[in-house]
Amino acid sequence: MIARPDGGPRVVVGVDDSAGARCALSWAVGEARLRRLPLLVAHAAPLPPHVSAAGQLGCGITEALRGSGAELIARLLQEVCGGPPDGVDMSALALVGEPGATLVRLAGDDDILVVGRGTRGPFSRLLRPSVRLHCARRARATLVCVRPPAFDALLESLTVRDESPEQIPGSRFRRLGRRLRLPL
């Protein structure tokens, strides 16, 4: 557990690169400012299965995961608040481990644990267990699940990362364009 300045409660928020995490970070910053509590922003990256199975922890992989987690936290703070939030005593942690278990260990009894809530399919849940459900079952802290606005969730589900929508026949963009009668 991370030491607290005066042993009192704090707001602990778990982040990743999703719309739900951005909304959770925004809510946690506002709550910490409103209640005058310290804010802990945490990102936990799970070890890739091939690394943990081969026992290659000394290969610099954990340092690389921590470094990318610190960059992610800095980028999210810049996107959401324009940098470290004013008027909030904030600390950030980039850790390696299962996200749900790590957040449960970080949050104490009197803390407020904030996680994002997204929409995932059954196959995605099979590959990566839900952090929100893990925290709901095991956390002793007060748990707040922040869902992104419906429009942000729609945009995230429609995003195609590597190819433009015009090149993909029958893509979600095309189907949405046909419903709205837009020339896509």
Mean pLDDT of the chain: 81
What 3-state DSSP class applies to 144? strand
User: For residue 55, what are its two tokens?
Assistant: 């026992």
- 52-73: average pLDDT: 80
User: Residue 55: pLDDT band by 50, 70, 90 thresholds?
Assistant: low
pTM of the model: 0.76
The whole-angstrom separation of Cα 15 and Cα 90 is 14
So what's the pLDDT on residue 120?
72
* Least confident span in 99-113, 143-157, 163-177: 163-177
R_g (Cα) of the chain, nearest Å: 18
User: For residue 116, what are its two tokens?
Assistant: 């994002």
So what's the pLDDT on residue 129?
78
Pair 13, 24: CB distance under 8 Å:
yes
So what's the pLDDT on residue 108?
92
So what's the pLDDT on residue 184?
45
So what's the pLDDT on residue 75?
96
> Percentage of the chain surpassing pLDDT 70?
71
- 147-155: average pLDDT: 74
pLDDT digits (tens, 9 = 90+) for 65-124: 999 999 999 999 999 999 999 999 999 999 999 999 999 999 999 999 999 987 776 776
Give how far Cα 146 sits from Cα of 20, 132, 169, Å. 7, 10, 34
pLDDT digits (tens, 9 = 90+) for 91-105: 999 999 999 999 999
